[in-house]
Amino acid sequence: MPSALPDGAPAPTDGSLPESALRHLGLDTFGVYVHVPFCRVRCGYCDFNTYTLTELGVPGASLREYSDTALRELDLAVEVLGEDAPAVDTIFFGGGTPTMLDPKDLGRIVQGIGERFGLAGDLEITTEANPDSVSAKDLEVLSESGFTRVSFGMQSAVPHVLRTLERTHDPARLPDVTRAARAVDLDYSLDLIYGTPGESLEDWKVSLETAISLEPQHLSAYALTVEEGTKLAAQVRRGEVPSPEDDDEAAKYELADATLHAAGYDWYEISNWATSDTKRCRHNEGYWREGDWWGVGPGAHSHVGGVRWWNVKHPSAYASRINGGLSPAAAREVLTAEQRYDERVMLGIRLVDGLPIDELDDAGGRAVAQLIADGLVEGDRALLEEHLVLTLRGRLLADTVVARLLGL
């Protein structure tokens, strides 16, 4: 969740939504995202809305009080969504480092979500974690609280790459925490980053092979982006480290796709692979497929029925609004039909299921034939004319295809 908030129209102080949005509830998946903004240190590349403990401590925004503040926002969610709100299909704790909260507090929030909305039978509950931020006992408590998945921020297995990223965890901890997760029947995902300045292709291969050896059910691999305002951006600007290169990142993506496929992982979104369809991250699929979700916490984004809103960014401002009985929403936008169409194209083309051609407008339909003629997509032409699926799935190629389909 990037720290910079977008522009938008003023959000109602009571958080109310248009009737048109509320009528959409129950027609799609419904998830809850909980943003936990705490980190021990801020990594040099990170642009997420995170704060070290020395920056906080205001009432309602401390580690000790945060779960109570989050539960009060969920009370608001019940008032806004009403009696017809569906049971929750997925819950995802992101950050920051959610496991800096006591695992019992994370469990209290899960319990609070269930008490307010009800929980679907096939519930998925995920938390992100740093390898150094959880113990075997923590994972046991999470499992007992209903968590089904944990996503470990591995990033790399190579010490000099981790130093450049300013990641503080010890990669030697990964076998311990993944073994502990297996012991309490938690699925686990590993998050990797490629394209770090100074990372060779061989370094990236070592990280991939190390990750595979830990036998995760799910893997994510993201290209490093240098975000303005970060320490890494300043280092690149001063010439202290080189900027990531598109060709290098493309080569590393292709290596990841080939290596993971050979190891039995199926690609289902440009940056995500799983051992089977049942091991995909269903919460993230809800984002990519226009599902509904309520985002809890400072800077968290929500979407219901074509209305998107985002909370105030700083934890102190967030807690102040919640404690004052006000919606924490900073602003919102009611998506137009054109905006929703653009998002369906941009997200749909990234998924293994592809993009149904009959969902494209006339210009997009004409672009499909040209994409095939230019060799940007491959496969059986009859199939492609019904369902556009990228078989060459590099990040830059996806951007090129989207631009063609949207006439950009």
Mean of pLDDT values over 103-116: 97
Q: What is the pLDDT of residues 142-168, one digit of tens each?
A: 999 999 999 999 999 999 999 888 877
Q: What is the pLDDT of residues 272-307, one digit of tens each?
A: 999 999 999 999 999 999 999 999 999 999 999 999
d(CA 177, CA 154): 11
Does 142 or 246 have the greater pLDDT score?
142
- Global pTM reads 0.89
Q: State pLDDT tens for residues 16-35.
A: 999 999 999 988 899 999 99
388: pLDDT strictly greater than 80: no
Rounded Cα distance between 55 and 315, Å, is 10
What Cα–Cα distance (Å) separates residue 76 from each residue in 9, 24, 58, 240?
20, 19, 21, 47
**353-363 pLDDT per residue, tens:** 777 777 888 88
The pLDDT of residue 61 is 61
Supply the pLDDT for residue 394: 44
The pLDDT score that the predictor gives to residue 229 is: 65
Return the percentage of the chain with pLDDT > 70, whole number: 84
> What does the pLDDT read at residue 395?
46
* Single-letter amino acid, residue 50: T
Better-scored residue on pLDDT, 2 or 245: 245
CA distance 283 to 90: 5
pLDDT-derived band at 390, boundaries 50, 70, 90: very low
For residue 312, pLDDT beyond 80 = yes
- Residue 165: predicted pLDDT: 86
Q: Could you tell me the pLDDT band of residue 230, with boundaries at 50, 70 and 90? A: low
Q: What is the residue-averaged pLDDT of the chain?
A: 86
